[in-house]
Structure 1
Amino acid sequence: MITRNLGLRMSGNAIKKLKTEDAEELFTDSYLVFTAQQNIKTIEFLKNIIKDIEKKVLKVAELAPEFIKLKTFPGIGKILGLTIMLEVGDIKRFSKVGAYSSYCRCVKSERISNGKKKAKIIKKMGINTSPGLMLELRTLLYDSVLRHKDFISEKKQREME
């Protein structure tokens, strides 16, 4: 709504921080102000429901030992870690990393022989309830690896000086 009517870009986090009074500052048209205020109220309502669900889940669910390392990555807390754990189930069922990557739909499912596409594996395998979650996780992990590589290269450069 902000981009469409004002030509501005606003991050999701910035939108979540908006108060109903901010709608009057952003928009001049009374209908847009009203719509923005209703959207802000909806966001607040959903945030409260999410908090209630998270409290309830945290009372009964506990992260399994093999998933605790997930929380060491920036952006992965208790809830996202639990979500991943509950989506994956028994991690030991994956014989190697490639099997898990395929399950998360992070690799192409095609077979190529002599440069020619031979077969396409059925796309219904693996997680289909939340591929966005796995994409988010993959992005977080990739960003984390890049930050660590930058840190290590800067440290090596300082040691050389």
Structure 2
Amino acid sequence: MQAHGYSLRLVNTAAVTQYDGLKYSGDHHDAFHLAHLMRLGILPTGHIYPKTQRAIRDLLRRRLSLVRAASTQLISVQSQIWRSTDMRIPSTTLRRAGFELPSVDDYTLQAIQAGLTVYHVMQEEIDALEQSAHQAVKLTKDFEILQTIRGIGKILGLTIMLETGDIHRFASAGNFASYCRCVDSKRKSNGKKKGEGNAKAGNKYLSWAFSEAAHFAVRYEPLAQRFYERKKAKTNGIIAIRVIARKLARACWMMLKHQQPYEARLMFPG
């Protein structure tokens, strides 16, 4: 319909509440109600991604599901080896081809080999998906800007770029951070917490991407690492990582909005 010039709105039907006192409801009345909400500017709508980018975006989402499944297989193999031999083998060692398995009984060895075989098959598919994504996506100025952040590599950069879409649809950095699930969900009244809202509102793939970027930033960015240690001493490691993820999300909004490269000292002063 967009190709024929129609202006579409993708309505979030779960967020549209109808007046409970209505005695009659039908398609005509529902359409009138939606038009009334749109005229008032309070119709909850979602973003329609460009058709040319949807397939590549879904390709990266499939890659993420395979990465999680492969990690599950690897952790399962680690646990089985630990239970059987009391040996803790690092995941980097298990990933290597030709890894010499410890001495165990035949059934345990078969189970371990099956888990590793599944992991390596999944890893081959992950590599193929990554290669296809790089070849299909035309790398834009936005991608180059995202690459200036230590901790955001090619895959995270592609994920953020494709899941975000047009950055101008977010009115502020706070709106974008909220969409990335990097903002606490609270309900307050008179300065007191009265409960929590919908913590799952937003994009779960961007939430994952910025959490991963935060872990890499702590590893490779000295200023982020110092900030993490200070925050961790006051709270805990999980909260500290989420704070860094929120800072990175806000930084990405500013960078994409104003087409400026990343400056760590502005996000982590002192």
TM-score (norm 1): 0.73
- CA separation of 1:122 and 1:56: change in aligned 2, threshold 3 A: same
Matched, 1:72 2:148: yes
Letter of the aligned partner of 1:41 in structure 2? T
Alpha-carbon offset, residue 134 of structure 1: 3.1
Task: Find the aligned partners of 1:136 and 1:149 in 2 and give their Cα distance.
Answer: 14
- CA separation of 1:150 and 1:49: change in aligned 2, threshold 3 A: closer
Structure 2 equivalent of residue 159 of structure 1:
none
Matched, 1:22 2:97: no
Matched, 1:2 2:53: no
Task: Find the aligned partners of 1:128 and 1:41 in 2 and give their Cα distance.
Answer: 29
More off after superposition, 96-105 vs 122-131: 122-131
> The residue matched to 1:72 in structure 2 has which SS?
coil
Alpha-carbon offset, residue 63 of structure 1: 3.2
Task: Find the aligned partners of 2:132 and 2:225 in 1 and give their Cα distance.
Answer: 39
- CA separation of 1:83 and 1:13: change in aligned 2, threshold 3 A: farther
Residue deviations 1:77-115, cap 9 Å, x none? 222211121122222222222222211111211033445
- CA separation of 1:74 and 1:115: change in aligned 2, threshold 3 A: same
- CA separation of 1:109 and 1:33: change in aligned 2, threshold 3 A: same
- CA separation of 1:113 and 1:149: change in aligned 2, threshold 3 A: same
Structure 2 equivalent of residue 117 of structure 1:
193
> The residue matched to 2:111 in structure 1 has which SS?
helix
Matched, 1:100 2:100: no
Task: Find the aligned partners of 2:219 and 2:189 in 1 and give their Cα distance.
Answer: 33
Letter of the aligned partner of 1:140 in structure 2? F
Ranges in structure 1 where 5+ consecutive residues have no aligned partner? 152-161
Structure 2 equivalent of residue 12 of structure 1:
91
Task: Find the aligned partners of 1:55 and 1:11 in 2 and give their Cα distance.
Answer: 27
Task: Find the aligned partners of 1:92 and 1:49 in 2 and give their Cα distance.
Answer: 34
Structure 1 equivalent of residue 75 of structure 2:
none
Task: Find the aligned partners of 2:163 and 2:202 in 1 and give their Cα distance.
Answer: 10
Letter of the aligned partner of 1:49 in structure 2? E
**What is the 5 A alignment of 1:35-50?**
35-50=111-126
Structure 2 equivalent of residue 61 of structure 1:
137
Alpha-carbon offset, residue 50 of structure 1: 1.3
Task: Find the aligned partners of 1:7 and 1:36 in 2 and give their Cα distance.
Answer: 15
Residue deviations 1:13-49, cap 9 Å, x none? 3332253x522xx242111211111222222211111
Task: Find the aligned partners of 1:130 and 1:74 in 2 and give their Cα distance.
Answer: 17
**Contact map agreement 1:62 1:82 (CA 8 A) in 2:** no
Specify which structure has the bigger relative contact order, considering alpha-carbon pairs within 8 angstroms and separated by 6 or more residues: 2
CA RMSD, Structure 1 to Structure 2 (Å) = 2.7
**What is the 5 A alignment of 1:131-142?**
131-142=207-218
Task: Find the aligned partners of 1:82 and 1:116 in 2 and give their Cα distance.
Answer: 40
More off after superposition, 70-79 vs 51-60: 70-79
**Contact map agreement 1:67 1:81 (CA 8 A) in 2:** yes
- The percent identity for this pair of structures is 33
> The residue matched to 2:147 in structure 1 has which SS?
helix
Structure 2 equivalent of residue 156 of structure 1:
none
Letter of the aligned partner of 1:12 in structure 2? S
**Contact map agreement 2:151 2:216 (CA 8 A) in 1:** yes
Alpha-carbon offset, residue 75 of structure 1: 4.4
**Contact map agreement 1:63 1:85 (CA 8 A) in 2:** no
> The residue matched to 1:122 in structure 2 has which SS?
coil
